Amino acid sequence: MKNLSRRNFNTLMAKGMGTAAIMAATPLACAMGSGQDKKKLGVALVGLGSYSTYQLAPALQDTQHCYLSGVVTGTPEKEQIWADKYNIPKKNIYNYQNFDDIAKNDDIDVVYVVLPNSMHAEFCIRAAKAGKHVICEKPMAVSVEECDAIIEACKNAGVELGIGYRLQSEPYTNEVKRFVREKTFGDVRYVSADAGYYSGSNPDQWRLNKELSGGGALLNMGVYAIQSAIYGSGQNPVSVTAQEYSTRPEYFKDTDETITAQFTFPNGAVGNIMTSHNINANSMYVSAERGWFQLQPANSYGPLSGRTSTGDVIEFPHESQQKLQMDDFAKHILFDAPNVAPGEMGKRDMIICEAIYESIAKGGQKVTLDLEPDYGFGGLPTP
């Protein structure tokens, strides 16, 4: 994959092709360095696009164990806007050129990289080298090789790494995991998951630019469907076959529009997923020996909704998924709680994405997946 320079990225942002979001670290690194008893970690957001603006920054106003302490942006006009809105001191505001100076800032413990996918590896690695814990937005990177580089950089720097899989922290997803783990409906036999949306009529958005995104619907929404199939079955798949469809080739010139894939699992269960940038889809369904359960919607920002074959409604009070996700990561650092979305989980999903693309390139041939049974499940118990 051709590397995208920061200069090219800023040029594209000026054309409205995309933005980035950054979460910075909290006072943990400084707590470890000075021996102070830090109660909250400072988070810096890298890139101030829509996800940072409308989801992450507001969520950080409600988190219990971390807070918004800094930002990184390639758009100078945003600096004062964010400083005023969130009372961020000037010394905690960075751009892509002076980003490495963040190493000297004790206010920042965690860096949340929410840049276009092709820039994840660079800034995660730079954050790790600066001694900051890292949250990397999904997908983790644009290749398994880049995932390995991020994991190695964090390991070498002695910092923690989490992936922005917000659903791993929210209660509906964890109720599905409980059904599977406790065999509430018996062994799972079949799982299906759909994740997609209609991308509209803006061909200049960065997600349709392969140099920025690394792929289309699969890397953007497909990881949600992949995750649903995995936690809905409680297993990692052992093989996959896949197909790609395009009904608007004049619009989706550079990236995949719609992909379907079929998984087989170690216990003989099977799964189907569909992901698209041209179809609204948001559900998961699990059929087991003695019944079924489903979530619909299953992967939006919430509130989610679910039901079971026994007539029960799956219902929980709504909370910001981003708030829960970032607090979970902070608790992992502060209190040694499980890392519910570790780097290995992001790498696992990229291994599966690469296998799906391989199957498509080979005309839908079956591709074997050599994953350990519990690889990528993080700190969560498996069935």
| Active site residue ranges | 138, 224
325/229 Cα distance (integer angstroms): 20
Contacts of 305 (CB under 8 A, 6+ apart): 172, 295, 296, 297, 313, 314, 315
- 243's enclosing H/E stretch is strand 239-245
CA 7 to chain centre: 25
Contact of 214 with 118, CB cutoff 8 Å: yes
Contacts of 32 (CB under 8 A, 6+ apart): none
CA distances from 283 to 20, 193, 195, 305, 337 (A): 27, 6, 7, 10, 29
- 286's enclosing H/E stretch is strand 278-288
Angle between helices 343-361 and 144-157 (to 10 degrees): 170
Token reading at 128 = 């790790």
Contact of 160 with 154, CB cutoff 8 Å: yes
What is the rounded (10 degree) CA torsion for 110, 114, 118, 119? -50
CA distances from 80 to 45, 62, 84, 90, 241 (A): 15, 22, 6, 9, 50
Q: Which amino acid is at 331?
A: K
Token reading at 307 = 């039901």
Contact of 374 with 382, CB cutoff 8 Å: yes
- Residue among 56, 121, 140, 132 nearest 94 (CA): 132
